[in-house]
Amino acid sequence: MIQELFSLKGKNALVTGATHGLGMSIATSLAKAGATLIVNDISKEKLENALKEYASNGIKVHGFVFDVTDEVAVKESIDKIEKEIGPIDILVNNAGIIKRVPMVDMELSDWELVLKIDLTGPFIMSKHVGKYMIQRRSGKIINMCSMMSELGRDTVSAYAAAKGGLKMLTKNMATEWGKFNIQVNGIGPGYFATTQTAPIRVDGHPFNDFIISRTPAGRWGDPEDLSGAAIFLSSKASDFVNGHILYVDGGILATIGKPSNE
């Protein structure tokens, strides 16, 4: 049956930073497609609250608290998941932060923190999950890239550098691991309504109006707009898709935009 191509029944999916925002939305979609869900966050309190929210939506979730940049904690958690829950078939490297500061004013510590979480975190996670996937000759990894994997904008130098690097890390992982039947791809969301973009999305904020005018779809993305891309890149339907960044952006990367008076 053609639907089987997109079924995740019998698969275990680990999503990092999945207590809210895009991570929770993607995790929920994978669960609705049949996956057993394992979610992570750096905050124990947020994870406990999120587990209740998942449960209220009828989704049983295994929760693991760890910092994706802490290699010891990551290895311990992944070994525990593999031993006690089962093989991690799908990894979504979603956890990430942003700092919006003009580069000349950006502290080195902020630069390093963004690169550490947004780029080194996916490296650490993928390295330790990938070892198991290589043994099994099977796996799906999705890296949460960004429009800033392709374009820059004022104040997000560290984030753009990290997400640009994540795009290339995705391609390199696809290169190294394709022969082990592991597909590594990215999802590149456009501008989505989450807590991360809340500061630039308030009504009347010039950036809010700019994004709506700059996006052919004429709106901010809703986290559920990522469901199809996440299920596709996690399922058999994408078994010959490797090293691809799937942009879900309402068309913003397709256009130079139009004059404001049109």
Residues lying near ligand GCO in the complex (CB under 6 A) are found at 98, 100, 146-148, 153, 156, 159, 189-191, 196-197, 200
For the question of residue 159 being annotated catalytic, the response is yes
In whole angstroms, how close is the CB of 82 to ligand NAP at the nearest point?
Answer: 19
* Residue 46 binds which of ligand GCO, ligand NAP, none (CB < 5-8 A, kind-dependent): ligand NAP
Q: Rounded distance, CA 82 to CA 144, Å? A: 23
Q: Rounded distance, CA 193 to CA 171, Å? A: 27
* Residue 181 binds which of ligand NAP, ligand GCO, none (CB < 5-8 A, kind-dependent): none
Q: Rounded distance, CA 67 to CA 56, Å? A: 26
Q: Rounded distance, CA 260 to CA 136, Å? A: 53
In whole angstroms, how close is the CB of 137 to ligand GCO at the nearest point?
Answer: 33
Among residues 69, 157, 183, 227, the one that binds ligand NAP under rule CB under 6 A: 69
Q: Which residue shows structure tokens 């043994």?
A: 135
Among residues 16, 36, 77, 185, the one that binds ligand NAP under rule CB under 6 A: 16
Q: Which two tokens stand for residue 125?
A: 């996670």
In whole angstroms, how close is the CB of 147 to ligand NAP at the nearest point?
Answer: 6
Residue 40, classified by CB atoms within 10 Å of its CB into exposed (0-12), middle (13-18) or buried (19+), is buried
Q: Rounded distance, CA 197 to CA 37, Å? A: 26
In whole angstroms, how close is the CB of 186 to ligand GCO at the nearest point?
Answer: 12
Indicate whether 197 belongs to the interface with ligand NAP (CB under 6 A). yes
The angle formed by the CA atoms of residues 206, 207 and 209, to the nearest 5 degrees, is 70
Which residues make up the interface to ligand NAP (CB under 6 A)? 16-17, 19-23, 40-43, 46, 67-69, 94-97, 117, 121, 144, 146, 189, 191-192, 194-197
